A and B are shown apart, each in its own frame.
Chain A
Amino acid sequence: MIEKDMNQVKADPKAHKGMENKKPLMRPNAAKKKAKKTAGTIIAYLALIILAVIWLYPIVWIILHSFREEYIDGFYRGIIVSNYFPNHYGLETYRRLFTEYQAGTYTFLFFDVQVGIFVKWFYNTLIVAIASFFISTVLQLSVAYVMSKIKFEKRKLFLNLAIILGLFPGFMSMIAVYFVLKALGLTQTLFALVLVYSAGAGLGFYIAKGFFDIIPNSLVEAAKIDGATNAQIFGKIILPISKPIIIYTALMTFIGPWMDFIFARVILGADKREIHTVAIGLFDMIYGEHADINNFTIFAAGSVMVAIPIVALFLSLQKYYVEGVTSGSVKG
């Protein structure tokens, strides 16, 4: 691959000379060049369109089939069908999702409500997401601030330790965390899930640290000369000008529980369905222990309901996300 490129380069100077050639030839050359350019653009657009279709093919399919309403001999037909576009559209699937699928009396805060289990899953995930985003955000910003702006003894040691621990894949300790929680009698509770999501959150401080690093140290020092304590500097000077990173951290930690599959699976188990989160709930619907091929459209509807808020949040954050990914993994 690389050698091929090299050959092309070697061949290139000739072409290059030809193009650079004398002014008289300029006009026909320019026309040719323009034609070539247009052809290139068209090819590029074609490639992009084909790729976009491939990328959207499964996503659009799921959305379309969440609105599919078909009956066979009066029975609702929810299985995967071989035609890409449904024959008939309607909202029946959503009605089933919210009121019928595994309907029962579930507790929301203090109220017992008769609904489909999906509502309960959504509620569970929301609770876990809110709790863990609150704890995680506080922890993450605290650690980031300390690592960025407070020069204490052993700071380097902590930084190194955090980098190493942060690089341990989360699943490594997963089984043991499961044992610890089991010993504490906490498995199969949402509380355990919140603990797991937020306990290690402090280690994900890099992006926020990068943000704090940009804030000039002179600001901190000036405040110190004026007699402010470290806590005051953090609370009254740094935090008010750090809104973007606070929002980013909060939203990222909020999205986490909606995306996670493995920890929820391990900690919440398979049998107590009313404590599941959307991820494992929807998985079990079509592939897990409670799978039923007729559930497919309901799964699609559930996916759409989860996807809308998450995608909206993510896209609004895309800018920060790109910055985070780039700064996090591209160090010279």
Chain B
Amino acid sequence: MQENNQDMNQSFLSKLIEGFLSFFKGIYLFFRSVPKKLVRFGHFLKDKCKGFLERWKDSNLGTKLSHFIMGSGNIYHKQYIKGLLFLAIQVGFLVVFFTNPVVGRSVTNHPVLGPIVVDPGTPIGYKSLGNLITLGTNEGSLFTSADNSMLMLLFGVLMVVMIILFIATWLANIKSSYKAQVDMAKGKKPTTIKEDIKALFDSKFHVLLLTPTIIGVSLFTIIPTIFMILIAFTDYGKGVVAGSDLFNWVGFDNFAAVFESDSEIGQRFLPVLGWTLTWAFFATFSNYIAGILLALLINKYEIRLKKMWRTIFVLTIALPQFITLLAVRSLISELGPFNQMLLNLGILEQPMAFLGQADSATTARISVLVINLWIGIPYTMLMTSGILMNVPKDTYEAAQIDGATKFQAFRHITVPYIVFVTTPYLITSFIGNITSFNIIYLLTAGDPGVPGNYAGKTDLLVTWLFELTIEQGDYNVGSVIAIFTFIITATATLLTYRHSKAYKEEDTFQ
């Protein structure tokens, strides 16, 4: 008990420092373990290859054949449907791979010149792999559009993924045939297709349930992320229109540009990064402290109608942010009643713009931070309310027996307990604030801006990224920004993750 208290009594600051130290230690340990992991991975591959060769030696004709013609092994072992399915996959893949079907090709019949290829289209097949390297060579002419480098890149990535999947299927096909062979050698009948389907609902139920998610996540998270990372290494930037201009690989030029102080992007990057971190810091801590105070206030023994009070504050979570934020933006606009109130009270002499049209960046920045309190406090309040009810009762009792006053109990039990339990939350909300798009975009859209400059004074990396890509079409720079944002959030995530139970339990991560 006593020890427990001591542990929780650790001051918050030292906890934070400790957290950051262990974070760097974690990074160091990670890099130190890389060679070890590579060696382990090498062993893993070696074992796999060994197993593959041994299986080859041990195979009968059917299984040997399945190394070349997928499904033949299954057919040899009388698993016809399964075998045909494998065969179909192989045929389908090879047909696509070698015939290179073209996507988006269009031809018009010119009355004088005859058929003209308006759009050469983009092939998907083995040519995609070459295109992934060249990103298109046909520059187009008066009548014909150029190769679509963007699609070539996309299809290239897709093709690589398809090849990996094909190899996996190929291995599965050999394994399946070998299993049937072993079953037969043991005098058992190889599994029928019916049994295989049945297994999907029983011993392989997890395969059935996980497959849709794996497909969805691969298509909409993993492939897009790879694609986006690759864009950062091209010159697909402002003014380049995929389909009429080619773009090329440029290596690390875009990354270098971000750090060159005289480049257009370089001048913007560091200020935006600085404000993003400042914003995240202040937004996180102001919400955290104010939220805890509010929770304590509501949970005060004498306060009645706790549920009603909580509901009032929770309204800002329950309402969609585009409603609450746009409402606030309108409310404090120069025409609105907030300005009028300040005028009536004599605080202002003329209406003042607080957000995008504000005279100084500082005004706008403070305004968004204050409005963020309105949005953010209820989250902390809700969370800590739950925690406050869970403060171990026996600790209080023990304290009472020892003759502690209420305040002492609060100071030495409640506060340390809340801090102890919510530290991970603090870090997740820090990450959340770095990537909080809605608040900035809906309140100021990054303004107040600087003339001729497309990063406003309240732009966070995320909103800037949005403007760069969706509004300006500056995709490569956008990708670089996205990668930097990711590095920041990922390191913060690593920090949280290393402290979470999930991580501590897992050593199996390879």
**A310 at interface, CB cutoff 8 A:** yes
Find out whether the CB atom of B475 lies under 8 angstroms from the CB atom of A175.
yes
A257 CB, nearest partner CB in chain B, Å: 10
How far is B441's CA from A266's CA once the two chains are assembled, in angstroms? 13
- Tell me whether A230 and B315 are in contact (CB under 8 A): no
Count residues of chain B with CB under 8 A from any CB of chain A: 114
CB of B408 within 8 A of chain A? yes
Question: Quick one: given A2-B11, A173-B228, A331-B424, are A200 and B311 in contact (CB under 8 Å)?
Answer: no
B314 close to chain A: CB less than 8 A = yes
B435 at the interface (CB under 8 A from A): yes
Q: When the two chains form their complex, are residues B154 and A183 in contact, meaning their CB atoms are under 8 A apart?
A: yes
- Of the listed stretches B173-181, B276-284, B320-328, name the one at the interface; the rest are far from the partner chain: B320-328
Q: How far is the CB of B230 from chain A (nearest CB, A)?
A: 9
0/1 string, B302-346, CB within 8 A of A gives 1:
110000010111111111111110111111010111011100000
List of B residues within 8 angstroms of A201 by Cβ:
213, 216
Contact of B411 among A5, A59, A83, A177 (CB under 8 A): A5
CA distance A331 to B425 in the complex (A): 8
Cβ of A218 within 8 Å of any chain B Cβ, yes or no, is no
Residues of B near A279 (CB, < 8 A) are 320, 322
Which residues of chain A from 251 to 269 have any CB-CB distance to chain B below 8 Å in the complex? 258-259, 261-262, 265-266
| Interface: A203 (CB within 8 A) | yes
Cβ-based interface call for B182 (8 A): no
Proximity bits, A87-128, B CB within 8 Å = 1, else 0: 000000000000000000000000000000000000000000
Nearest CB in chain A: distance from B287 CB, A: 13
Q: Which of A24-32, A67-75, A191-199 contacts B (4 or more CB under 8 A)?
A: A191-199
Q: What separation, in Å, do the CA atoms of A68 and B313 have in the docked complex?
A: 26
Interface residue? B294 (CB, 8 A): yes
Instruction: Assess the B220–A200 pair: CB atoms within 8 A.
Output: yes
B223, B374, B382, B437: the one within 8 Å of A54 (CB): B374
Contact B212 A139 (CB under 8 A): yes
B340 A82 Cβ-Cβ under 8 A: yes
Q: Is the CB of A156 within 8 A of B508?
A: yes
Return chain A residues, CB-CB under 8 Å to B429. 329
Q: When chains A and B are docked, how far (Å) is the Cα of A141 from the Cα of B509?
A: 25
> Who on chain B is nearest to A288 by CB?
B445
One of B46-54, B61-69, B200-208, B358-366 at the interface: B200-208
Contacts A139-B212, A163-B497, A266-B470 given; indicate if A55 touches B312 (C-beta within 8 A): yes
Residues of A within 8 A of B223 (CB): 176, 180
Do the beta carbons of B322 and A45 come within 8 Å of each other?
no
If the complex has contacts A172-B228, A296-B330, A307-B320, are A180 and B154 also in contact, measured as CB distance less than 8 A?
A: yes
Q: At the interface, yes or no: B506 with Cβ under 8 Å from chain A?
A: yes
Residues on B with beta carbons closer than 8 Å to the beta carbon of A41: 300, 302-303
Q: Do A332 and B327 touch (CB < 8 A)?
A: no
Residues of B within 8 A of A15 (CB): 405
**Does B263 reach chain A (CB closer than 8 Å)?**
no
Q: Which 5 A-B pairs rank lowest in CB-CB distance, beginning with the nearest?
A: A202-B213, A176-B224, A199-B216, A230-B205, A231-B201
